[in-house]
Amino acid sequence: MDIEASRLAAYADRYQISFGSQLGAGANGAVYSTSRRNAVKFFYTWQDEAYHRERRAYIIIQEQNVREVCGHRVPLLIRHDDELLAVEMSTVAPPYLLDFASAYLLDEVPDFPDEVWEQHHADVVERFGSYWPRASEVINEFEAKTGLILLDPHLSNLKFA
């Protein structure tokens, strides 16, 4: 899926920046580099709930002054734009923790049956393989620092050196 060129143009005009290459894309949106050496994640228009979760996560991260978790750098919020469904953040090099569209407050976590949670946990453990003990430490420390639970950790958003 592509982000509409009009949204990129509106953001660039509004904040006096230009965009470089697309850094990545996923289920929620696409991330672009900027002339200020930051990154902007544009959410697909039907992903507004994910946008609001990610925006809130960055605000909490900023309020709690979380710059790293167990040695993994966390991007800093530069700005967000509710109209354009965009979050601008600093860029980080590995090791890092990023992509908070699936970060929930404890009382908002979906109420799945136990067997679904067990399968989800098994899938995450398998996804990380030998990195799981360290990944688990980072995920738990992030929750302790922010009160947010990461429901979709994977090797592209929890990167090791």
CA distances from 3 to 24, 25, 114, 115, 154 (A): 12, 10, 37, 36, 23
Residue 3: pLDDT band with limits 50, 70, 90: confident
pLDDT at 157 exceeding the cut of 60: yes
pLDDT in tens, 18-70: 999 999 999 999 999 999 999 999 999 899 999 999 999 999 999 999 999 99
pLDDT at 160 over 70: yes
Instruction: Give the per-residue pLDDT at 4.
Output: 85
Give φ, ψ of 87 to 5 degrees: -125, 125
Query: Which contiguous run of DSSP H or E holds residue 26?
Result: none
Specify whether the CB–CB gap between 126 and 72 falls below 8 A.
no
Handedness of CA 81, 63, 22, 20 (dihedral sign): positive
Q: Are 96 and 72 in contact (CB under 8 A)?
A: yes
